[in-house]
Structure 1
Amino acid sequence: MNDEPRAYRIRTATPDDAPRIAELLHDFNTEFDTATPGVEVLTRRLRTLLAGPSTFAVLGGEPAIGVALVTLRPNVWSAGPVALLDEMYVAPEERGGGIGGEILRVMVEACQRLGVAEIEINVDESDADTMRFYEAHGFSNGDPDTGEKAFYFYRSLAPDSGANEAGQ
């Protein structure tokens, strides 16, 4: 068995990558028994979002086996935007080989080039492995000065959370 880390092609996605990103995101939700609007709807949405200035994705592998999807928003507290890592997914059979860390590194570098002030990531309380992954890559779930924990609050305004919208 070779213990050398694999070399993966890591790159920023284009709108033409929307179908593959949609497949990965659909697989992500399916793996974790979460509603998904399906690949066709996701593809349509991603084509639009990736063509604009407030969403980008980083892909790993050829064909892509991992993705980080990021949205940017302006804020009053800094000159640069805040980035939200909306989704990060690596195909189960590819986990543990370093591709997730490489995708995350390239995503952070892209945020730095864009003048992003901070990156936010939401993680489920029960997902200790994911929390350890992000902590190992320099992220924290608390204020570095006080140690006070950060929390995420959520309220859906759509009856079905938008997951089953076929027209969007």
Structure 2
Amino acid sequence: MNEPDSPRVATPADAATMAELLDAFNREYGEPSPGPAALADRLTDLLSRSSTFAIVAGDPITSLGLVTIRTNVWVDGGIALLDEMYTTPGQRSRGLGGAVLTAAVAEAARRGAGEFEIEVDEPDVDAHRFYARHGFPLRDPETGDRAFVLRKELTAP
């Protein structure tokens, strides 16, 4: 990986480019997207908060990891959640995504987070392997239990 590809912490000025990538990510997997403009507005707001950061790599940006840190009663410093991780298809298998993930974990620790979580869809075995290579096993090493995330969409009353 050369210097322009080196991961760095994103700024709100990166929001538009990140929005284009996240929109492409959803389109690649047939998922709905509110579109780059709405995503850019959201990212600009999120990246201005201390609870959210992103790591980007490439010039232009071709890989990103978006992380939110939330407070938690059991974990000092809170829990970092990798909200989004994407590398453009032409840049995959070059170590860029791994470098972004490694930098995201390091930045979360630097910000005081005590744990780092990643949600992965069950059928996405490539992602399972990728994250396992970077220290995130599918099963709890102590108990052998699989981890699950249960989710329900909410609507305002």
CA distance in 2, matches of 1:143, 1:131: 14
Q: Is 1:155 aligned to residue 139 of structure 2?
A: no
CA distance in 2, matches of 1:25, 1:145: 35
What residue number does 1:130 align with? 127
Alignment pair present for 1:145 and 2:142? yes
CA-CA distance at 1:152 after TM superposition: 1.1
Q: Is 1:42 aligned to 2:35, yes or no?
A: no
Matched, 1:92 2:92: no
5+ residue gaps, structure 2, are none
1:66 aligns with 2:50: no
The RMSD of aligned alpha carbons is 1.1
Superposition deviation, residue 80 in structure 1: 1.1
Secondary structure of 1:83's counterpart equals strand
Count of aligned residue pairs for this structure pair: 154
Q: Distance in 1 between matches of 2:13 and 2:146?
A: 39
CA-CA distance at 1:115 after TM superposition: 1.4
Match for 2:113 among 116, 120, 133? 116
Amino acid at match of 2:9: T
SS at match of 1:48: helix
Q: Secondary structure at the match of 2:18?
A: helix
Do structure 1's residue 77 and structure 2's residue 74 form an aligned pair?
Answer: yes
* d(CA) in 2 for partners of 1:129, 1:158: 33
Unaligned runs of 5+ in 1: 1-5, 160-168
Displacement of 1:142: 2.4
Give secondary structure in 1 for the equivalent of 2:72.
coil
Q: Deviations over 1:16-35 (max 9, x none)?
A: 11001101100000100001
Following the alignment from structure 2 to structure 1, what is the Cα–Cα distance between the partners of residues 151 and 139?
18
> After the TM superposition, which parts of structure 1 deviate over 3 Å for at least 4 consecutive aligned residues?
none
Query: TM-score w.r.t. structure 2 length?
Result: 0.95
- Amino acid paired to 1:65: T
**Residue 28 in structure 1 maps to residue 51 in structure 2:** no
**Following the alignment from structure 1 to structure 2, what is the Cα–Cα distance between the partners of residues 62 and 11?**
11
TM-score of the two chains, using structure 1 as the length reference? 0.89
The letter for the 1-side match of 2:124 is D
